[in-house]
Amino acid sequence: MRLEGTVCPMPTPTTGRDIDTDALAEYTSYLINGGVHGLFPCGSIGEFPSLTRAQRSNVLETVVDSADDVPVLAGCGHTSAGDVAEHIRDADAAGVDAAVVVTPYYLSTTQDGLQRFFETIADDSSLPIVLYNIPALTGEELSVDLVSTMAEHPNVVGLKDTSGDLTFLYDVIETTPSDFDVFQGASELAIASLELGASGLIAGPANVFPRPVAQLYDSYRHSDYDHARQLMNSVVNPVVSTMNDIPTAAAMKHLVRRSGIDIGTPLPPLPQLDDAQRERLDHCYDSVLASVTV
């Protein structure tokens, strides 16, 4: 299975502290109708550390039921290899296509420790594994050598890199097999990463403007570089810039509500937005909406 294109890292619709499955099904259909090439529930934007195991399963089942033939990558992150294995089993039972496993957090470790962690998980996984590197949030960073080593494992099929380090991304692409799929998770580096040979983008702005962000990837792949750059400057960069110092999940939920689907507010411990933050996000949404076809 090849994973490529614009994958949307989905926020989790909630009502109070419960999952709003009706809103989630509606929202999943909205993203698919917008042309995204893949869905990524239960990731960072999906507030996975704030969800129970049962809630994660509920999210994945709902997304898969509404996803048609669009690939679903399930966030299965946890600090415990045993808990990751349980999340992967739940994801497999829900019918997802691959499991995304973030580096463990809280306990500091080494590259050897990370290798033990990922090998333990991959050896027993019933799903293909996508490694997830986001050192700003986990405090742990995958090395190029470790990614290259893990890429030799038959169950490890790709990497989501949100380090913001283009040299790291380039080196991973150069030292892994051609069928190892590398995704850029920092949307502001979308075109630069495609130029380096990335398989695709896991792009937060696709939550709000799915069609333009999907078209950015499609335009680039069809060598329409001017259109790709135009979408980068009119959609991706304004959204990323506006959200730069606003909690991501909270900002996404607000922007999605502006697009017509109420998916609730962030779960504790994330804060609510203040009036100034909402005003900035509203201004960004209105400006982008005026410049593109959604």
Residue 88's CB is within 10 A of a number of other CB atoms, namely 23
Q: Tokens 């990558």 identify what position?
A: 73
The active-site residue out of 27, 30, 132, 217 is: 132
d(CA 163, CA 185): 8
The active-site residue out of 160, 170, 217, 285 is: 160
| Active-site annotation holds for 105 | no
| Active-site annotation holds for 132 | yes
Angle between helices 248-258 and 275-291 (to 10 degrees): 50
d(CA 238, CA 37): 22
| Cβ atoms of residues 164 and 191 within 8 Å | no
DSSP string computed for 144-165: HHHHHHHTTSTTEEEEEE-S--
d(CA 168, CA 126): 29
| Cβ atoms of residues 213 and 234 within 8 Å | no
Angle between helices 111-124 and 81-94 (to 10 degrees): 40
- The residues, ordered by sequence, that sit 6+ positions from 250 with a Cβ below 8 Å of its Cβ are 265, 266, 270, 271, 272, 273
d(CA 33, CA 238): 23
Tokens read off for 20: 């709003």
Of 44, 40, 77, 45, nearest in space to 60 by CA: 40
Give residue 252's identity as a one-letter amino acid code: M
| Catalytic residue annotation | 132, 160
